[in-house]
Amino acid sequence: MALYIVEEECISCGDCEPVCPTVSIKEGAIVFEINAKTCTECKDDFDSPECVRVCPIDNCILPLEA
Ligand code: SF4
Ligand code: SF4
C-alpha cells in the first residue's frame, strides 16, 4: 500500500514533500521520491492522498503495484 512518483513526470517542484503526514517524501538524486515502506496512501490521515492533491502534474504520483 504505497504510491510512487513517476520520474518522467515529476518537475521537482517540492509541493508534495511538506504535506505528507508520514514524512515519506524526499528529494532524490533525480526527482522527488516516496518511501514505499512508510507511505500509507494517507489512509489514517486524509480521505485521499495529499501528495496527489497538491501535485500540479496529472498522473505524476501513481499506485505502486506490489
Ligand atoms: S500518499 Fe500520503 S503518505 Fe503516501 S507519500 Fe503521499 S502524502 Fe505521503
Ligand atoms: S508535487 Fe508532483 S511534481 Fe512536485 S515534486 Fe511532488 S511529485 Fe514532483
Q: What CATH number should be reported for the domain holding residue 54?
A: 3.30.70.20
Residue 29 has pLDDT above 70, yes or no: yes
Ligand 2 pocket check for 6: Cβ under 6 Å: no
* CA of residue 58 to ligand 2 center, whole Å: 10
Residue 51 burial by Cβ neighbours in a 10 Å radius (0-12, 13-18, 19+)? buried
Ligand nearest to the CA of 44: 1
pTM: 0.96
Coil, helix or strand at residue 54 = helix
Nearest atom, ligand 1, residue 49 CA: 1
* CA of residue 1 to ligand 2 center, whole Å: 19
Q: In total, how many domains does the chain have? A: 1
> What range defines the domain where residue 62 resides?
1-66
The rounded distance, in Å, linking the Cα atoms of 51 and 3 is 9
pLDDT value, residue 50 = 98
